[in-house]
Amino acid sequence: MAAFDPHAPAPPRPPFDRFGGTIPASPVIVSVPHAGRDYPAALLAALRVPFVAVTVLEDRYVDAVALLAHKDETMLIQRRARAWIDLNRNEQERDPAIDEGARASGTPIASVKVRGGLGLIPRRVAGAGDLWRRRFGADDIATRITQDYRPYHAALTGALQAARARFGIAVLLDVHSMPSLGPGGPRIVLGDRHGRSAGARFVDAIERTVRAAEIPCARNTPYAGAHILDTQAQGGVVHAIQIEFDRTLYLDPAGDLPGDGLHKTAHLLRAMIDSVEAEASGRITAPHAIAAE
């Protein structure tokens, strides 16, 4: 056994926070991949637009909703900002317009998201245009993938497999937020890749909970989920569902900070988690209990 060296550098802190015990307490695993507000100095130096333009990419403070909702299930919250690297994209969704290593990395995936400027490294946002002063070097992006992307995915896979090993089943709830879809539009959107990433009974359980709270809800339109659901779902044993909350449910009127609806929205997320756990465990719940909250 190697001797302890008090002068040795501490291992690097992972780019995400993990909540819950080492042994999973629930078959439900919660993921919050897009709420990070950690903007490295290298990102700030490369911006060609005002800083506020890239904060539009955040699922603004939806981590505050998740933290208030959390009990003892395993939960991962990414700290790195989405503008730095997007965890809900394939490693090969690399944009040659800003990524010098895109072609050298293999066959880049020219997906609709990449073509729209929202690949692994976002290139542009609506209303602000192109974000960066320059292209990023191959080594730069490789480091982001190694240090800030893969650790989250490895931890998420490990958590789901541990839950499956203990409970025989695991259900991922991937928590996001969305801009308002306008009058009459849904305020919560559930994505299951059009039925491919999760059993209908789990999505049904969440939808019953949302409708009992008298909040308009939709499935897969306009958000059906993306890379995280595609990679984590395993037919019949690991289910994966994306949940999009309208930001007006929990942010202040300026859309900047948590507002008066924060606790009510967290209570609703808690009820969703409980409904999925009950479904996975074969228990009966009463979703109407939250309607008056």
CA distance 139 to 157: 26
Check residue 236 and give its pLDDT.
87
Residue 93 in any domain: the answer is no
Q: Which residues of the chain are modeled with pLDDT < 70?
A: 1-12, 104-108, 283-293
Strand partners, 77: 17, 32
Is residue 214 in some structural domain? yes
pTM summary value: 0.92
Q: Is residue 50 part of a domain?
A: yes
Burial of 273 (0-12, 13-18, 19+ CB in 10 A): buried
Give residue 6's pLDDT. Answer: 57
What whole-number distance in Å separates Cα of residue 275 and Cα of residue 195? 19
d(CA 58, CA 243): 15
- What is the number of domains present in the chain? 1
Confirm whether 229 is domain-assigned.
yes
3-state secondary structure of 272: helix
CATH number, residue 248: 3.40.630.40
Within a domain: residue 6?
A: no
- Which pLDDT score, from 0 to 100, does residue 282 have? 85
The amino acid at 280: A
Q: What is the pLDDT of residues 245-259, one digit of tens each?
A: 999 999 999 999 999
Q: How much is the pLDDT for 137?
A: 96
Distance between CA atoms of residues 204 and 147, nearest Å: 37
- Domain-located, residue 107: no
Residue 90 in any domain: the answer is no
- 3 found inside a domain: no
What domain range includes position 67?
A: 16-81+150-281
Q: What is the DSSP letter of 149?
A: I
